[in-house]
Amino acid sequence: MVQSDSPEIIELARQLTSGVKNEYEAVTVITNHVADAIKYTFNLPKYDALYTLKTKSGNCQNFAHLSIALLRSMGIPARIVGGITLKDSWKVPIVARNSIVQSMGQGGHAWMEIYFPDLGWLSYDPQQSRQFTSTRHIKQTHGLDSRDITDTWRGAL
């Protein structure tokens, strides 16, 4: 689901990271591109990176798979995270302005972690304009792609 060896993925990653000076800058341009270029859509037939790139649409898994594919194609380790988000808005103080308000739906969600050699695995939400994850992102699992993290629930009477 993360086609990081695809020529289309490799070419886009090279274009996006042309001129960057370090891993952090590469991560920033790639994740900002995905957040800006992909439109959130429900009930998709596919969740892989190439489908997302071609249709420019997807859900949280699609956003994560495309971001991870672009990052991995540049040699940056990334993995998908599965968990839940809580719906209560959270006011986040920032330096440039007084604050921004993060709000999301409540329920199952996928985001990602990116490995920085000097910091370890850092959490990024590729749907957020600042790739911000908060205490309202509750991690349950992580893996190579969503097939590694998907839970199946069944009820019985």
Query: Which range has the worst mean pLDDT, 81-95, 102-116, 128-142?
Result: 81-95
Is 1 domain-assigned? no
If DSSP codes are grouped into helix, strand and coil, which group holds residue 124? strand
Is 90 domain-assigned? yes
Q: Name the pLDDT band for 28 (thresholds 50, 70, 90).
A: very high
Position 85 pLDDT exceeds 70: yes
Is 155 domain-assigned? no
CA 43 → CA 3, 52, 62, distances in Å? 21, 13, 12
Is residue 94 within a helix (H) or strand (E), and if so which, with residue range? none
Q: What is the pTM of this model?
A: 0.84
pLDDT at 39: 97
pLDDT at 151: 56
Residue-wise DSSP of 112-136: EEEEETTTEEEEE-TTSTT----TT
Query: Is the CB of residue 115 less than 8 Å from the CB of residue 23?
Result: no
Q: Name the pLDDT band for 84 (thresholds 50, 70, 90).
A: confident
Is 108 domain-assigned? yes
Query: The domain that contains 27 carries what CATH number?
Result: 3.10.620.30
Is 154 domain-assigned? no
Query: Which range has the worst mean pLDDT, 49-53, 107-111, 117-121?
Result: 107-111
Is 145 domain-assigned? yes
Is 49 domain-assigned? yes
Query: Is the CB of residue 64 less than 8 Å from the CB of residue 80?
Result: yes
Beta-carbon-side half-sphere exposure of residue 56 (alpha carbons within 13 Å): 3
Give the domain range for residue 16: 7-149
Is 57 domain-assigned? yes
| Number of domains within the chain | 1
